[in-house]
Amino acid sequence: MTQRHPEPESDASQSTQTSTSQVASTVAQGSRRNPALRIGAGILAHWQVLASGLLLGAGVIGLHETYEDYCGRTDLTYAPNEVRDAIELASEESGFRTGIIASQVETESDWRTGASSHAGAKGLAQFTDETWAMYGQGDPTDPSASIAAQGRYLGYLKERLAPFAHNDDELLRVVLAGYNAGPAAVEEYKGIPPFGETQAYVTKITELADTKYKVTCDPDPQFSKEKLHTIR
């Protein structure tokens, strides 16, 4: 059998190898002389690892957001089902989240549609005849009508008392104080009036909003579902 000897490489092939070696040598020398170039070369060499890390991080964030959507985050878990729609409308009207509306109703009347006060206020959101004439429509003891008026009145107070707050939390507190003591009292004291009843009122609502009616996927089991009551 005739043995075949490898053919000598062509001049073009040898030239290509020589050029590649020269480029590699040049980069290596440049890297030794320039630390920044060396770091850049290292980053480029590991770009796949870096890209994988970024994609993994984005995936974790995406999964978290998907879970938050899927779990049905809400602040109305414990509010009566009968008035959920009314609460959502009042939230849109006032600019305060639904959990604030529910917390205030619970504080005002404990979900008793026939509740009345020594001052003559009545209904779920406790309106006097004078205030109802300005913000209410229909029967003040009607749950949906009462909550609708609550949303309108809160929206009015929010606009009127905004100069006495520096942030959203302060604004919520002065608005609640104005609902309880009247907006004139807030304006007189340039903030929450020094009335024990009003201060306790604001504290109770904000605490309920941060616990029972907070926005969450995992409602606190110490609380129970509320229902509307017709008793006074």
Question: What gap in Å lies between CA 193 and CA 156, rounded to an integer?
Answer: 19
Q: Which of 93, 106, 108, 226 is catalytic?
A: 108
Q: Could you report the per-residue pLDDT of 122-173, keeping only the tens digit for each?
A: 999 999 999 999 999 999 999 999 999 999 999 999 999 999 999 999 999 9
Give the count of beta carbons closer than 10 Å to the beta carbon of residue 141. 17
Return phi, psi of residue 74, to 5°: -155, 165
| Model pTM score | 0.72
Rounded to the nearest 10 degrees, the angle between the axes of helix 168-181 and helix 143-160 is 120
130 is annotated as an active-site residue: no
- Beta-bridged to residue 167, according to DSSP, are none
Q: Could you report the per-residue pLDDT of 87-129, keeping only the tens digit for each?
A: 999 999 999 999 999 999 999 999 999 999 999 999 999 999 9
Average pLDDT score over the chain: 82
CB 107 within 8 A of CB 205: yes
**What is the CATH code of the structural domain delimited by 81-210?**
1.10.530.10
Positions of CATH 1.10.530.10 in the chain: 81-210
43 contact partners, CB below 8 Å, separation of at least 6 = 50
Q: Which pair of tokens denotes residue 91?
A: 């939230």
